[in-house]
Structure 1
């Protein structure tokens, strides 16, 4: 039986949690995503993992330990894993086709990196006609040369509210 909602877990891969350059609130991010995955499964929603792949020598080189989806939120049988090579989870992947096949109309977005892959995927999903929910406290990034990670996240929560319903973890999938 198809579900009409899917949770997208974007680029939550081992290399993103390198202790020498930790992602902002990484442990809390993983806890929140674990909670969202559990809630999605309880409700019978699809859980779809987006896995970024890069070339040889990159921390996200396909097939390396860093490329793997973080073990604390690893997929189970029945979960879909979509590999991508650009910030857009839809570009040159079969994500849109798989969503259509399963009659998914609503997407819940979580993951990394706020200002790149989460932003691009959110905007593209909206353009494709999906009802998008961005989980305001379940996506993350790193400090830039200009802004702190927390500022980047808050800025994107504000801007992406033009493309998505932006809500906190505690208010996702209620009802």
Structure 2
């Protein structure tokens, strides 16, 4: 059986600013908590990707917005990967850490759908990982042209070229 890991991208305080909360943020956090519980019950490795923003950025390194959201606080055994670009693999230790644990299948969740989630799905696929995108557990903000839900729906469709796309209810972790 292929060893899986849960990957949570950029679910940090800065994505939940009172005046600019990510689309369906509360629902996203609740589903993530459920997935985290399932992963922990099955000893599935959990990787958090934390964006290190520059000074003044909502995810400014070391500032309050940079912290991983308290609803999904990492535990001691979880691995935190720091990044500075939308690609969770670029100039990070993610690939090395996954290989250390023999992980071949990534279950991807997080923020921001059209940037970090999209880029990481495509990159993981091109690096030979089996990828599952959890269709109801990634989010974004509306643009001038599209609603957040339209962006999410579009990426769930397009990323089907690079990942199996399933809702959280269909996600099964290794026993």
**What TM-score, normalized to structure 1?**
0.97
* Superimposed CA distance per residue, residues 4-58 of structure 1 (whole angstroms, 9 cap, x where no aligned partner): 2110000000010011012110000000011111111111110000000111121
Cα distance in 2 for partners of 1:174, 1:131 equals 14
Does 1:76 find its partner at 2:75?
yes
Deviates most, 54-63 or 78-87: 54-63
User: Which residue number in structure 2 is paired with residue 51 of structure 1?
Assistant: 50
Cα distance in 2 for partners of 1:97, 1:174 equals 22
Q: How does 1:13-162 map to 2 (within 5 A)?
A: 13-162=12-161
Q: Which secondary structure does the structure 2 equivalent of 1:109 belong to?
A: strand
- Structure 1 segments, 4+ long, off by >6 Å, are none
Cα distance in 2 for partners of 1:69, 1:104 equals 23
Cα distance in 2 for partners of 1:98, 1:22 equals 31
User: Which residue number in structure 1 is paired with residue 170 of structure 2?
Assistant: 171
Cα distance in 1 for partners of 2:116, 2:173 equals 26
* Superimposed CA distance per residue, residues 73-95 of structure 1 (whole angstroms, 9 cap, x where no aligned partner): 01001100000000000000010
Cα distance in 2 for partners of 1:168, 1:95 equals 24
Q: Which secondary structure does the structure 2 equivalent of 1:103 belong to?
A: coil
Q: CA RMSD in A?
A: 1.1
Cα distance in 1 for partners of 2:108, 2:14 equals 20
5+ unaligned residues in a row in structure 2: which ranges?
none
Q: Work out whether residues 16 and 25 of structure 2, in 8 Å CA contact, stay in contact via their aligned partners in 1.
A: yes
